[in-house]
Structure 1
Amino acid sequence: MSETSQKKGQDASVVAKAGLWYTVCTFIFKAMAFLTTPFFARYMTKAELGSFTDFSSVASILLVITSFDLSQSIIRSKAEHEKDMDSYIWSILSLSTIWTLIVYGVFLMFPGFFGDYLKIDWKYIHILFWYMLAAPPYTMLITKQRAFYQYKRFVLLTGIMAVSGTLLAFLLVLLMQDKLAGRIIGFYSPFIVFGAAIFVFLAFKGRRIKTRYWSYATKICLPLVPHALSLHILGVSDVLLITRLCGEEYTAYYSIAYSAYHIASVLFDAMNKAWAPWLIESLHARNYKDIKKVSKIYILIFAFLIVGLLLLVPEIILILGGSEYKPSIYCLPALLTSCSFLFIFTMYVNIEFYEKKTIGVSVATMIGTSANVILNLIFLRLDPEHSFVIAAYTTLAGYIILFILHYFIVKRMKMDHVYSIKFILCILGGIMVFAGLMNILYSYTIIRYALVLAYGSVFLYFVYKYRDRIKKVLLKKG
């Protein structure tokens, strides 16, 4: 066996093991949020829960604006600046910090305006900016670990942050009179403390700030800011419009279904964390044949997992919301199918990102989000009683539009040959047909359980058939 072949085999094993660890551990850490939700709902009032959700939403939006999402450039920059990565990270971190301090200064100059506009107490706004200063160092470090497949360090660091934040929030909500303060301080303090320590570590490792890296990173990431904000709007617009046009009762049905949808989105996020670094490296090496072959396996694995979730929708809704949320069942097939389109179009976005054609990413996302909002405004009023189901299908329509737009952007770049579009359309078509079928079969429990049994048998068959490969991936050091 040649040295190149051995290296490819070793790389494939590392990627597979990293992907497995990212997926499993992300699931565990995200599950903590689901498991602790009943606790916080019991000890906090609805107003306090709503205020925490508002604070989290503001934090996620402002973090995109102040950080420019510069950490996203790290995986791409590895192809060009691998030997100077420490200096690259410290340089873009300094830019993010300077801009965050400027925004913080503007807020301090007009405290009344921003406090009234955001409807957030200033003691929490200070915590918000400390978090926005401390989050980028943490994000950049774990992104570097992803880029170099350092999954053990990634799992350890993300685990510490997830567990410490959850446990501290849990403890402070129990002990403090002000439950909202307890949850905000408990959840965000670990990010602030560890982020500050990581900032010092990255500054020591990077030593020199090179402003040429500012230009490199902003050219890639600045156009992605509207993309990130549009995706956030796409995620929350359904809930806001159902509440305003149809009523909070119908919003509750959709919210439970959307919580279940997050199971699939966690899967997608975890798998993409392993896929993107390998894809960037393979594109740089022009290993298009390997990409096409591996991408089919990658897509099949995700599709198989989506099918499993579609089979278990009634049980998922029962666990998350109880029997009173049974109508939410009929939202999930469309939402899970939406996640399949999200999964696929992100594969194309990764190519656009590698080619540094990020303006198209933002334009496409804004078009898809606008289409979703317009469809909601048109159709939600027509049948308020089923508005939560309609919103699921308008979301699906938005993601289908995004898939089409990103495919043609990549086709125009003459990079569409990287993936097999025929294979992708077959998989997406199959998922849509199966989702439609499950909408009917949710009323026929025996038939559905027979399908679950068949699904489990197929799963066990493949685990047994490829047990040696699985064992090799799990036991191989790296």
Structure 2
Amino acid sequence: MNTSILKKYKELPVEIKAAFWFLIGTFFQKAMSMVSTPIFTRIMSAEEYGEYNVFNSWFLIVSIIVTCQLSAGVYTQGIVKFDSEKREFSSCMQGLTLTLVLLWTIIYIFTMDFWNKLFDLSTFQVYSMLFLSWMTSAYNFWAIEQRVDLRYRKMLCMTAFVIIAQPALCIFLVIKSTDKVSARILGMVIVSCFAYSYCFWNQIKSGKKIFIKHYWKYALSLCIPLIPHYLSQIIMSTSDRIMIDRIIGSKEAGIYSLAYSISQIMTIFNTGLMQTIEPWLYKKIKKGELKKISAIAYKSMVGIALVNILLIIFAPEVVRIFAPEEYYEAIWIIPPVAMSVYVSFMYAFFAVFEFYYEKTKYISFATLVGAVINIVLNYLLIPVFGYYAAGYTTLFCYIIYVVMHYYFMSKICKENQIDEIPYDKNVLISISFVFFVISFVILFTYKHYLVRYSIMIVLMLAIFIMRKRIISIIRRIIRDFSR
């Protein structure tokens, strides 16, 4: 039996092997973060946990401004576009990112008091944000190159080291320190420096150049107009925590952060799947093979919907595992945020056309509108309905966000004389409608354990009965993806 499985594995195309191991790596990376959460919620108070998550929210925003998010979609597009010169392109992106970080560090040194007061963070914490912005980008450049080249072994080794070393060191430092928030940040800095500096030097050594004018110009010309887009994305996912902290308090921000973190478990599948599919999508668009995209997209969306339903149905049990009693109210926030995770997954299939055809103004406009609506709704509704409102404003804004990206994708297809839009909106609406209905039905059973457990049993039985069909669909996806 084992020999048969091994033989089948060896016969798989390299694309499928790489996709599988990249997904496994992403899964364990996120899973370890989730496994460590119950420890941190017990060795840090709700206030300290909230303060750390506020730092993390600011870090996500600052890193976009500092690095122009060069390691995001534009880089993936660049190494596909400059395929024969991708080593030089990659090393130049590393050089450009380091230059930007150093420039912002100099600005911070001369305006330190202003930024410390704005972020409500210490000098050490702001320096840490700048350093982590550089190291995270260095890793992302290297990791994307590994994915595009289908080299998964080194990446798995790097992932294994970081997911073990970082939480272990952070837990040790938090236990030993009185300033537990800074201690946790210090642990991240030390491990990132030790691990991700390899990624930086590896690409610099391979490309041998850190400055080539037309690469820097190409990247900045695409990334700078996208800064509003990336900022808006982060604002939609983090502004709620910052606003809850300012309007209500750190404890409530901590409870909301826990719910958000648990819901983000499902981004394991989102991230792993999209990071593997994205280069494939660019190649299919380049070749004009758009009909192959929709088959993968629909099945992927159904799969992401199902794993989010599983999280929603088990939310009360998951919260009890991850945190003590004071966090239990988080169960009511998980469903809308989990639904947002599904909607954000849909966006990537539309945005890839905007990136490929370099329509950055469309991308930025759609995301900026979503972020502004999110901030306004949070400002109006959090004082009235409490921090629960933030989960629903996030969901509402993601729906607006994805609808606008679908519209702009359709517009781009017409502008480029593509006869048929790659996705049928009726199919997309049907999948989403069924997912939302099931999710809200489960939400209303949280106080009725017998009903919820009955739904669990029915769902498990349905999966078991349909197991052969599910396996068949997975095999079909693998076959389509390998073509």
Task: Classify 1:132/1:327 alpha carbon distance in 2 versus 1 (closer, same or farther; 3 Å).
Answer: closer
| Segment of structure 1 superposing worse, 15-24 or 70-79 | 15-24
Change (3 A) 1:114 1:214: same
Equivalences for residues 310-325 of structure 1 within 5 A: 310-322=312-324, 325=327
Q: What is the letter of the counterpart of residue 239 of structure 2?
A: S
Change (3 A) 1:371 1:88: same
Q: Which moved more, 1:113-122 or 1:148-157?
A: 113-122
Q: What percent of counterpart residues are identical?
A: 23
Could you tell me how far 1:460 is from its partner in structure 2?
Answer: 3.6
Gaps of 5+ in 2: 1-9, 479-483
- CA distance in 1 between counterparts of 2:325 and 2:113 reads 45
Structure-to-structure mapping, 1:341-380, within 5 angstroms: 341-380=343-382
Q: Is the 8 A contact 1:29 1:163 kept in 2?
A: no
Map of 1:22 onto structure 2 = 22
Aligned length: 463
Q: CA deviation at 1:17?
A: 3.9
| Higher deviation after alignment, 422-431 or 173-182 | 173-182
The answer to whether the Cα contact below 8 Å between 2:22 and 2:272 also exists between their aligned partners in 1 is: yes
User: Retained in 1: the 8 A contact 2:22–2:147?
Assistant: no
Residues 389 and 94 of structure 1: CA distance in aligned 2, closer, same or farther (over 3 Å): same
Separation in structure 1 between the aligned mates of residue 75 and residue 20 of structure 2, nearest angstrom? 22
Counterpart Cα distance in 1 of 2:309 and 2:129: 39
Deviation digits for residues 72-92 of structure 1 (CA, Å, limit 9, x no counterpart): 223212332111111000112
1:222-264 deviations in Å (ceiling 9; x for gaps): 2222222222221222234445545666555533432321122
Describe the superposition over 1:292-313 as per-residue Cα deviations: whole angstroms up to 9, x where unpaired: 2221221121122122223222
Deviation at 1:122, TM superposition (A): 3.4
Q: Which residue of 1 aligns with 2:234?
A: 232
Q: Secondary structure at the match of 1:432?
A: helix
Q: Determine if the alignment matches structure 1 residue 130 to structure 2 residue 168.
A: no
Q: Which amino acid aligns with 1:430?
A: V
Q: Which moved more, 1:328-337 or 1:177-186?
A: 177-186
Matched, 1:397 2:396: yes
Alignment check: 8 A CA contact 1:253 1:388 kept: no
The amino acid across from 1:83 in the alignment is S
Aligned partner of 2:160: which letter? G
Q: Deviations over 1:247-283 (max 9, x none)?
A: 6665555334323211223332222111211111111
**Residue 150 of structure 2 aligns with which residue?**
149
Aligned residues of 1:91 and 1:211 also touching (Cα < 8 A): no
RMSD of aligned residue pairs (Cα, Å): 3.1
- In structure 2, the residue corresponding to 1:419 is in which secondary structure? coil
What is the 5 A alignment of 1:378-393?
Answer: 378-382=380-384, 384=385, 387-393=386-392
Cα distance, 1:443–1:15 mapped onto 2, change above 3 Å: farther
Normalised TM-score (structure 1): 0.86
Deviation, 1:13, is 4.6
Aligned to 1:424, what secondary structure does the other structure show?
helix
CA distance in structure 2 between the partners assigned to 1:250 and 1:135 by the alignment: 29
In structure 2, do the counterparts of structure 1 residues 179 and 313 end up closer, same or farther at CA, with 3 Å as the change threshold? closer
- Aligned partner of 1:476 in structure 2 is none
Aligned equivalents of 2:12 and 2:64: distance in 1? 33
1:371 CA drift (Å) = 1.1
Q: Aligned with 2:219: secondary structure?
A: helix
What displacement does 1:344 show? 0.9
CA distance in 1, matches of 2:104, 2:277: 34
CA–CA separation in structure 2 for the residues paired with 1:462 and 1:275: 26
Tell me the distance in 2 between the aligned counterparts of 1:16 and 1:277: 13
Contact map agreement 1:257 1:331 (CA 8 A) in 2: yes
The question of whether the paired residues in 1 share the 8 Å contact of 2:70 and 2:93 is answered with yes
- Say if 1:332 and 1:120 are closer, same or farther in 2 by CA, change over 3 A: closer
Once the two structures are superposed, the pairs formed by residues 210-221 of structure 1 within 5 Å of their partners are 210-221=212-223
